[in-house]
Amino acid sequence: MVVLFLGAIVGFNFSVDPLCSYCENISLSHKTLNRRYQLAQIVLNHPDAQQIIVGSSRGETTSPQWMTERTGLKTLNLSFPAAGVVTKETMIRFALAHAQIKKVIWYADYFELIDIVADNETFQTKALVPFSEDVFGKNSSATVDFFSRATKLLDRNTFEASFRKFKSSNIKSDDLGAGSDLDIAKCSSENFKFPESRAGLKTDIEVFFDNYVHGIIDRPQTQSAYRSFEAFMKELRSKGIDVEVVILPYHSIFRSRLESEYPTIYKNHMMWIERINKLQEEVGIEVLNRFDGPKGDDQSLKYWKDGVHLTCKGAMDLYR
């Protein structure tokens, strides 16, 4: 009975495929709860896009409409929570193949070069695997892809997602990715203030600090991850693609505690920034170092949601 029950779950999840784990290609007709797949659909929806933003959740507070106004290049924001090198490179490669990309804005996170395998969930999306192969190599990506997708068929979350899929909707034509729903006028106002959480900004900073130093940024970056990043920067420049790497800040309280309480981690960050800066001359990319915060930063809810995420106002003022 147990085997039959598990088999029924696997069969149901496979037939519904709520995360498009088995979709052979990216199609605008597919409804899915897979955000990576949705971002690829957004690219297909805008083949005239000229610029893309790739980042983790820290890149999601940048309005693509505002960036379009600022640069004159139609922009898509393909940022995704916890996105590392694999996800970012995959989204860029997909965009290069399906849009008229002239420039890439890469929101850099220290953690993305700690372990290149950290965000290998990209391989659970079969249609994106061909755009991920160059990060690991064809054989390894196929192995990760097969086992990760097979395991997901028995996952409770996948089972629940199968039911939620029926209520989901297709990507809207005006969806430009993360930050599309931001009100540019409100975000640019000097009176802007992000709604305070019940715990308060100070507590939110402490929570993110503890989470980061005890699992997200507590290890040195690896040479293999950095070499992959450097090689990809060279590849983009060789194709005539302009690249801007933005080094994002932490809140000043977070940054000060990092320097005083975890000097080794702080030193590793300084070494990382130095290496990124060197790529300006060595590779020809542009680096916008905002590790100390955006100009005008008053450390309040005007600029910060917590210890690591800028508000939309803070994201705008990175470019002041």
The fold of the 2-317 domain, in CATH, is Rossmann fold (3.40.50)
Q: Pick the closest to residue 41 from 172, 129, 164 (CA basis).
A: 172
- How many Å apart are CA 173 and CA 144, to the nearest integer? 33
Going residue by residue through the chain, which has 320 residues, state the pLDDT in tens, using 9 for 90 and above: 544 444 444 444 444 556 787 888 999 988 888 899 999 999 999 999 999 999 999 999 999 999 999 999 999 999 999 898 889 999 999 999 999 999 999 999 999 999 755 566 666 788 888 888 665 554 344 444 555 545 554 454 444 444 444 445 677 889 999 999 999 999 999 999 999 999 999 999 999 999 999 999 999 999 988 998 999 999 999 999 999 999 999 999 999 999 999 999 999 999 999 999 999 999 999 999 999 999 999 999 999 999 999 999 999 999 99
Q: Is the pTM of this model over 0.85?
A: yes
Decide: residue 315, CB within 10 A, 0-12 exposed, 13-18 middle, 19+ buried: buried
- How many Å apart are CA 303 and CA 150, to the nearest integer? 42
Count of CB atoms situated within 10 Å of the CB of 121: 16
